[in-house]
Amino acid sequence: MRLPRKHSMTRRADFLRARKDGRAKAGRFVVVSTLADPALDHLKVAFITTRKVGKAHDRNLLRRRLREIVRRHGQRLIDPKRLLVTIPRPGSSVASFEDLEADWLRQVKRLGLLKAD
């Protein structure tokens, strides 16, 4: 199953608001920013992959991996009415899927967003 299009953040203002007004945690491979927004009906996610991360095929692979991570774990978020921005850091293109997933989960837990298993 794919991450539905309605869960994509499309407005630049939302990106900026999540980065400026929200909370962020940085890990080895990713930086995760979040901002609660009661006006939303569901989770809105965004992935910002700059050229510093790698070549185009590396950036595309990272986006596919991050979308899969959010698809797998998005339903475990405590409050799904929020903006969630994930930014891969330089060097994350050489990380395995498992390392990337573990780092993303670690940052989301540090932000206090995951329900207990």
The bridge status of strand 44-47 relative to strand 30-36 is unpaired
pLDDT value of position 117: 63
The answer to whether residue 99 sits within a structural domain is yes
Provide the whole-model pTM: 0.89
18 domain residue, yes or no: yes
Mean pLDDT in residue range 82-93: 93
Amino acid at 41: D
What is the DSSP secondary structure assignment for residue 22, as one 8-state letter?
A: S
Please give the helix or strand (H or E) that residue 32 lies within, else none: strand 30-36
Residue 116 lies in a domain: no
Domain span at residue 43 reads 5-110
Instruction: Give CA–CA dist 5/103, Å, rounded.
Output: 25
Has residue 85 been placed in a domain?
yes
| Residue 9 Cα distances to 23, 99, 102, 108, 113, angstroms | 17, 25, 23, 18, 18
Q: What's the pLDDT tens digit per position in 26-69?
A: 999 999 999 998 888 888 999 999 999 999 999 999 999 999 99
Whether 64 is in a domain gets the answer yes
Look at residues 45, 48, 74 and name the one whose alpha carbon lies nearest to residue 59: 48
pLDDT score recorded for residue 75: 85
The pLDDT assigned to 95 comes to 94
Q: The domain spanning residue 102 has which CATH number?
A: 3.30.230.10
